[in-house]
Structure 1
Amino acid sequence: MQDTPPGAPGHPPDLDADELAALDAHWRAANYLTVGQIYLLANPLLAEPLRPEHVKPRLLGHWGTSPGLNLVYTHLNRAVSARDLDAVCVWGPGHGGPAVLAGSWLDGSYSDAYPDVTRDAAGMARLFHQFSFPGGVPSHAAPDTPGSIHEGGELGYSLAHAYGAALDNPELLVACVVGDGEAETGPLAAAWHSTKFLDPVHDGAVLPVLHLNGYKIANPAVLARVPEAELDDLLRGLGHHPLHVTGEEPATVHRLMAHAMDTALDRIAHIQRAARAGDATGERPRWPLIVLRTPKGWTGPAEVDGLPVEGTWRAHQVPLAHVRENPVHLRQLEEWLLSYRPRELFDTRGRPREPVLAHTPHGDRRLGANPHANGGLLLRTLPVPPLERHAVAVDTPGATAHQPTRVLGGLVEQVLEATAERRDFRLVGPDETASNRLQAVYRATGKAWQAETVPTDEHLARDGRVMEILSEHTCQGWLEGYLLTGRHGLFSCYEAFAHIVGSMANQHIKWLRAARRVEWRAPVASLTYLLTSHVWRQDHNGFSHQDPGFVDHILSKSPEVVRVYLPPDTNTLLAVAEHVLHSRDHVNVVVAGKDPTFDWLGLDAARAHCARGAGLWEWAGTERLGEEPDVVLACAGDVPTLEVLAAAALLRRHLPDLAVRVVNVVDIARLMPAEQHPHGMSDHEFDAVFTRDRPVVFGYHGYPWLIHRLAYRRAVHPHLHVRGYTEEGTTTTHFDMAVRNGIDRYRLVMDVLDRVPGLAVRAGGVRQLMADAHHRHHDWIRAHGTDLPEVAGWTWPG
């Protein structure tokens, strides 16, 4: 790796007195505004002595990290203004939300977003009042915060978000403040390796600022307590050139920070110029990183009630906790606020004085107004090719079979080709693109890779737009950052391991839900998971790779955001893919198989079926026109659909007079009441499909209790019997997985016999045939290692 770039600029110039004074004025103003947001309900400019009624009754917020964040905001302003940079910042210690709000209020972007919060005393009062207050704004950086693309509660994800934002944004600088607490998390640890995927030609740059203030909530921070040489070894090993800023005397820290920022930006500019001119050495560059060491709660109370606060864990949230009741605390708060010399910073009308704004950028260059931090403004329609190019012909249901995700791979390949010049679509996944049968994409682009290559490698490319790293957290972080800055993408993952990013999915769902309520935020492309290599088809793996529960997790979240689709064949997968790739502000989960699956529907029928979300397959049932069925066989998922149709065929053969209705569900939220989910059915719609009082035997892809939870209010629920995965897993044949979990065709037939009144007695012989089939299956697979010929060779009778 390149360490010191040849020809790099020399020592950046030191600050002159005016620059230093202006930087310190902005920083003090931001600190004042931060403290005011945490504490003050009135009297924002301290125009009169501070009284208890000026203080909020509930003190909420995080002071400890905020002075460091304010310092970064101040110095980024200087750099952006001086160099005319296109820049955003990901604020990892997002609990320092008041600092980010203070910076955007000072640069005017907050008033642009919220015209009633003007940049004067009245606006300052509103800024203070609304913070962590009912009807106001959260205590952390959130969708309400101008310039933010990162939820403040997401500790560990900031760096991956930053790299995602930089991908395919060659002129963008993404600063990323990494808190020393979140630096201890697994997701953050893996995200450091993003340097091996960042292309200095086509991508922007990420400038991490590792903020070491010494403590988390109550414990020392690991990286703050290791020797500097050891920390340097770690950071260099991760591909960075560390620049240290350490101190607590403001003038010294400002000079060091300005020097470090200039050095880092000079280095980034040199790396990019060399790469884009084609004269790079071929070695992976060592990107700069700033290590910022300042005291926790810097410039706050040094001591409270005889205990040290500044520089300790006690500064984490609210250093003075009893201001209304304790006159000593009230006096300390007033002294603290006055220590920033607010009259030097704001005029009598509360407007920031000229030195405070000396380095503040203008227009879209402001950190709070950069359109990349409101990515929907930049979003373009994704050129999804016509599905007819990829659809499989279906003359007769069940007569042919295809691998759904392999066919989808051809569609994604064409999307990558269509976006080759504009570069706004990426496929991410944890080392599973080919395993998930999506390898057609390599005809359009390679896998992003900046590290060493050897002759046996395949499909690696410095400018590749397929992203693979064996960290689901990093994959999702990259994609979230990419989507939130106005691009499109798809996350392909083994079904069982989507749980790893369950918390990240939850946070992104919360972000989207909150963003929908922020008028100035434009919709962004949806985050779509393609979950495959699923529970029912694990040839090389077993129990460890069998878990369909991610759907349960997702469907417990905000109904306006979450969508779950279980396409039963290739053409329905294509129809679902077309829909989700064009959708906005959703988290979509698509569960589809990669193994050969019967083709049930032609493209037109698949599109119509997906538009309905759930519907009758008349060709599969035996119900008579104008009469209610004796039983409903329902299914959701590719393998349950196969087993339900096989059961329907058995019933047709052995009990031809039984009126069977077959229902397939693609959009699982259709089972919910309309008032609980936008895709839900009214009771009248639901009853028309499932009846009110007939037995319903439902074969479901995942855990059966989810279907009960979604449909518990329906009239037919007492007659609903669901079969699904019940944690009976192992490495075995395909059909044996169904048998072990009671979702196989023979068990489904027995369920029908048990639930249709009077049928169990009349069809005792049929039940015995089904039980005998189970015994034959048991003996056959143990003798031959394959499924029964009648199962392996089964086709729809037509």
Structure 2
Amino acid sequence: MTTQSTVAGAPLSATELGRLDAWWRAANYLAVGQIYLMDNPLLRTPLEPQHIKPRLLGHWGTTPGLTFVYAHLNRVISARDLDLINIMGPGHGGPAAVAAAYLDGTYSELYPRVTPDEHGLERLFTQFSFPGGIPSHVAPETPGSIHEGGELGYALSHAYGAAFDNPDLTVAAIVGDGEAESGPLAASWHSTKFVDPRRDGAVLPILHLNGYKIASPTVLARIPSDELDSLLRGVGHTPYVVSGSDPEEMHQAFAATLDHCLDEIKQIQDEARAVGAGSTAPRRPWPMIVLRSPKGWTGPDELDGQRVEGFWRSHQVPIGGVRDDDGHRQVLESWMRSYRPEELFDDHGAPVAEIAGLYPRGERRMSANPHTNGGLLLRDLHLPDFRDHAVPVDGPGTGAVEATDTLGGYLREVVRRNDDNFRMFAPDENNSNRLQDVLEVTGRTWNAETEPYDEGLAVDGRLMEILSEHTCQGWLEGYLLTGRHGLFSCYEAFTHIVDSMFNQHAKWLKTTRELDWRQAIASLNYLLTSHVWHQDHNGFSHQDPGFIDHVVNKKADVVRVYLPPDANTLLTVVDGCLRSKEQVNVIVAGKQPALQYLTMDQAVEHAAKGIDRWDWASNDDGREPDVVLACAGDVPTLETVAAAALLREHLPELRVRVVNVVDLMRLQAEEAHPHGLSSADFDALFTTDRPVLFAYHGYPWLIHRLTYARTNHDNFHVRGYVEEGTTTTPFDMTVLNRLDRFDLAIDVIDHVPGLGEEAAAVREMLTDKLAEHRAYVQTHGEDMPEIRDWRWETR
């Protein structure tokens, strides 16, 4: 494979070249050892079957490219005193990151058992993909990582998230050519239009084309070079190509190219930062590198007559059956000895001085950079007093307030007070979700072309809007993982787009809680609005509350779900979430005008409890009720309170208790979740033997799942969304799913024994009301006045 390079030059002296190549050989040797060995780590004796792991796991194919880039980044960090971190998009190349951290010395500092000697090497090798050891991916356990990479597609969005508001940081983002085929990665190329060279850091993408995925070629490696060049220029980059396989030539070519790109980045930043306030420098394309090297570079050319290096067979474990096949074991030993380990490690097994002298020192090491352990840099937000944004409430069940519009005023002040530490992320839905007040103090981040009639765009805006949920989430994750704060608002139904990204982040948090050297980062906060019960104009496609179900699958220490019933409760809940750490907080709130129930003082108390009996809506007067009406969510709360009013009017002797749930996790037992209620407290609210009619925002079976072990679970009857929806009126949505006040009241009559003939007459009246509703909406296209204008005070 002939060496070719856009940038000419051979900047490395013979000494620099030798040192760089020695470090690369050492890293590759350590990577192969992690995959194969559990003994004899320096090949002091010929390999024997007992030296080989019984189960061979890991990925070799991408690893030598990752270590190659890492070696060169070390050089420029030292030469330029750069603050630089490295994101390995092909995160399954975990052996590369672990090897690099070990050579840096960081690994032994954080894991003292893995010493820089032969015994430490044995532990380093054995633990990899081994029971009780470490994962094969670039995991939270890996020093210097903010990006697991087990799921591909997020390297660039994480990199840009890290660079935002970090003007002195450079982020090298290695994009694998398999990863480059994913939708999230394709969208994230457009991050170039959202980075501000004046106040943000820089991202240097390195597209690593080694040609193959697990078993087939990769797309970008098989298109004509001019087509690839046009594609990358079209997304805002100037691509510089380094291609070849000869190590010495490739080292010189890559060094020259990397120096050129860093010079260009500095020029872009210097030009932008020289422009005075109020002016904007023209947007320039950012440099990037296209690195073409063989898959499994420096590995065996072939095995049993079949091609390995430069082919998909090198993707995972290139040589199988090493324990049992003497020939294969000899190939492995020859491969490992080709790196000349006797030149790389001293008699004690420590890296020789030539190698140790290459990597940077202290916090300049990529494996020890504080930005990769963001809790070290985390500053508390300077938050306004949410009480200043309280909605006046003259009485429960009155008013007509848009909860998220009220929240927008509070978030405006959060943005104003934290102009380098907090950003909001939304897939083109901020204003639709009634959070437009933030635009009074910031613009939408935008660094592409503008027209004179555009509104609210700013290069240094704090509101990140791109019509890609994946990119919004990736940006926010990168921002959080490097020590900042943020909020992601989204249409409820389409938060499912980031289901898998949420999975990865929740797993990251679960793992980091178990690592004493990882410091706590700010929580990932979701605000889900435009929710299932008020999608009457968009219809069935926009009606899905199932993200909550997905979230509660994760570890209880990590996840929280809040369903505030009104604006004041929403304010106090969001304030608490912004103050929290190491959690994923999901908040569901409506954006349409809705009744208010609690004064601010009442809302603070209610949110702190997470669940409580509403005395004003109940008539059990502290006695054992005949029935409990429970609710979680703004629309279910309205229908439950209205059902309680109907029952009090038509069956005044019936003792009804109304219980509202803000913190969904309170329904779990205290043994199952940190927020769970004790059995005694749960039974005091829900009784041990009375029927409970529960109106829930989402899919009803989740409530059964959360309460299945409770004493009175057999008497729980849950109403929620059951996949019945269309373009219809708000109230008709509740009727379609039997969550409406009339059906709830009918359920009470059906489940409370001994109510007699009077109740039968009431039931018939309620059934007639449902028929009247259906006829009315089909004739008039809107809900009946008694529904639209209902207030608690008018009962």
Aligned to 1:167: 164
| Residues 1:773 and 2:769 are matched in the alignment | yes
1:653 is displaced (CA, Å) by: 0.5
Aligned to 1:209: 206
SS in 1 for 2:101: helix
Aligned to 2:722: 726
| Residues 1:664 and 2:660 are matched in the alignment | yes
Counterparts of 1:578 and 1:637, CA distance in 2: 18
The aligned amino acid for 1:701 is H
> Superposition RMSD on alpha carbons, in Å?
1.2
Counterparts of 2:503 and 2:695, CA distance in 1: 27
SS in 1 for 2:718: strand
Q: Which residues in structure 2 correspond to 1:138-217 (within 5 Å)?
A: 138-217=135-214
| Residues 1:589 and 2:586 are matched in the alignment | yes
Aligned to 2:363: 364
SS in 1 for 2:404: helix
SS in 2 for 1:288: strand
Per-residue CA shift, 1:489-514, capped at 9, x if unaligned?
A: 00000001000000000010001101
Aligned to 1:344: 343
The aligned amino acid for 1:682 is S
Equivalent residues of 2:10, 2:255 under 8 A apart: no
Equivalent residues of 1:649, 1:797 under 8 A apart: no
Stretches of structure 1 that go unaligned for 5 or more consecutive residues are 1-9
**In structure 2, which of residues 461, 464, 468 is the aligned counterpart of residue 464 of structure 1?**
461
Aligned to 2:442: 445
Aligned to 2:692: 696
Aligned to 2:3: none
- Higher mean displacement: 351-360 or 307-316: 351-360
The aligned amino acid for 1:335 is S
SS in 2 for 1:245: strand
Equivalent residues of 2:149, 2:155 under 8 A apart: no
1:797 is displaced (CA, Å) by: 2.4
1:12 is displaced (CA, Å) by: 6.5
The aligned amino acid for 1:392 is V
Counterparts of 2:179 and 2:447, CA distance in 1: 26
Equivalent residues of 1:41, 1:129 under 8 A apart: yes
Counterparts of 1:130 and 1:260, CA distance in 2: 36
| Residues 1:254 and 2:251 are matched in the alignment | yes
Q: Which residues in structure 2 correspond to 1:18-29 (within 5 Å)?
A: 18-29=15-26
1:677 is displaced (CA, Å) by: 1.5
Aligned to 1:5: none
Counterparts of 1:366 and 1:282, CA distance in 2: 33
Aligned to 1:327: 326
**In structure 1, which of residues 744, 749, 753 is the aligned counterpart of residue 749 of structure 2?**
753
Per-residue CA shift, 1:75-94, capped at 9, x if unaligned?
A: 00001000000011111000
Equivalent residues of 1:97, 1:152 under 8 A apart: no
| Residues 1:742 and 2:738 are matched in the alignment | yes
1:99 is displaced (CA, Å) by: 0.4
1:109 is displaced (CA, Å) by: 1.1
Aligned to 2:637: 641
CA 1:265–1:116: 2 relative to 1, 3 Å: same
The aligned amino acid for 2:773 is H
Aligned to 2:401: 402
1:558 is displaced (CA, Å) by: 1.6
Aligned to 1:673: 669
Aligned to 1:610: 607
Q: Which residues in structure 2 correspond to 1:71-86 (within 5 Å)?
A: 71-86=68-83
**In structure 1, which of residues 229, 235, 241 is the aligned counterpart of residue 238 of structure 2?**
241
1:619 is displaced (CA, Å) by: 1.0
1:728 is displaced (CA, Å) by: 1.1
The aligned amino acid for 2:457 is L
1:388 is displaced (CA, Å) by: 1.6
Equivalent residues of 1:753, 1:760 under 8 A apart: no
Aligned to 2:84: 87
- Higher mean displacement: 55-64 or 109-118: 109-118
SS in 2 for 1:642: helix
SS in 1 for 2:175: strand
Equivalent residues of 1:11, 1:263 under 8 A apart: no
1:285 is displaced (CA, Å) by: 1.1
Counterparts of 1:393 and 1:493, CA distance in 2: 27
Per-residue CA shift, 1:684-730, capped at 9, x if unaligned?
A: 22111111110000100011111111111112111111111111111
SS in 1 for 2:171: strand
| Residues 1:485 and 2:514 are matched in the alignment | no
**In structure 2, which of residues 511, 521, 526 is the aligned counterpart of residue 524 of structure 1?**
521
The aligned amino acid for 1:251 is E
Counterparts of 2:34 and 2:788, CA distance in 1: 68
Equivalent residues of 1:703, 1:726 under 8 A apart: yes
Equivalent residues of 2:210, 2:293 under 8 A apart: yes
The aligned amino acid for 2:455 is E
Per-residue CA shift, 1:755-782, capped at 9, x if unaligned?
A: 0012264411101111111111111112
The aligned amino acid for 1:725 is Y
Aligned to 2:4: none
Q: Which residues in structure 2 correspond to 1:309-324 (within 5 Å)?
A: 309-324=308-323
Counterparts of 2:756 and 2:589, CA distance in 1: 35
Q: Percent identity?
A: 62
Counterparts of 1:164 and 1:673, CA distance in 2: 37
Equivalent residues of 1:12, 1:263 under 8 A apart: no
Equivalent residues of 1:383, 1:418 under 8 A apart: yes
- Higher mean displacement: 305-314 or 10-19: 10-19
Aligned to 2:538: 541
**In structure 2, which of residues 109, 112, 115 is the aligned counterpart of residue 115 of structure 1?**
112
Stretches of structure 2 that go unaligned for 5 or more consecutive residues are 1-6
1:152 is displaced (CA, Å) by: 2.3
SS in 2 for 1:763: helix
How many corresponding residue pairs?
Answer: 786
Equivalent residues of 1:176, 1:207 under 8 A apart: yes
Q: Which residues in structure 2 correspond to 1:296-307 (within 5 Å)?
A: 296-307=295-306
The aligned amino acid for 1:59 is L
**In structure 2, which of residues 547, 554, 558 is the aligned counterpart of residue 557 of structure 1?**
554
The aligned amino acid for 1:14 is P
The aligned amino acid for 1:690 is F
| Residues 1:66 and 2:68 are matched in the alignment | no
SS in 1 for 2:532: coil
Counterparts of 2:745 and 2:669, CA distance in 1: 29
SS in 1 for 2:373: helix
1:456 is displaced (CA, Å) by: 2.0
Aligned to 1:763: 759
Q: TM-score when scaled to structure 1?
A: 0.97
Equivalent residues of 1:569, 1:600 under 8 A apart: yes
Equivalent residues of 1:640, 1:699 under 8 A apart: yes
1:307 is displaced (CA, Å) by: 1.1
| Residues 1:388 and 2:384 are matched in the alignment | no
Counterparts of 2:43 and 2:516, CA distance in 1: 33
**In structure 2, which of residues 706, 713, 717 is the aligned counterpart of residue 710 of structure 1?**
706
The aligned amino acid for 2:532 is V
SS in 2 for 1:458: coil
Q: TM-score when scaled to structure 2?
A: 0.98
| Residues 1:473 and 2:490 are matched in the alignment | no
The aligned amino acid for 1:311 is G
The aligned amino acid for 1:145 is T
- Higher mean displacement: 600-609 or 83-92: 600-609
The aligned amino acid for 1:160 is S
- Higher mean displacement: 336-345 or 670-679: 670-679
The aligned amino acid for 1:639 is V
SS in 2 for 1:412: helix
The aligned amino acid for 1:378 is L
SS in 2 for 1:104: helix
Equivalent residues of 1:754, 1:760 under 8 A apart: no
Equivalent residues of 1:622, 1:660 under 8 A apart: yes
| Residues 1:682 and 2:640 are matched in the alignment | no
Counterparts of 2:452 and 2:470, CA distance in 1: 29
Q: Which residues in structure 2 correspond to 1:226-237 (within 5 Å)?
A: 226-237=223-234
1:391 is displaced (CA, Å) by: 1.0
Counterparts of 2:398 and 2:659, CA distance in 1: 20
Equivalent residues of 2:275, 2:281 under 8 A apart: no
Counterparts of 2:555 and 2:307, CA distance in 1: 43
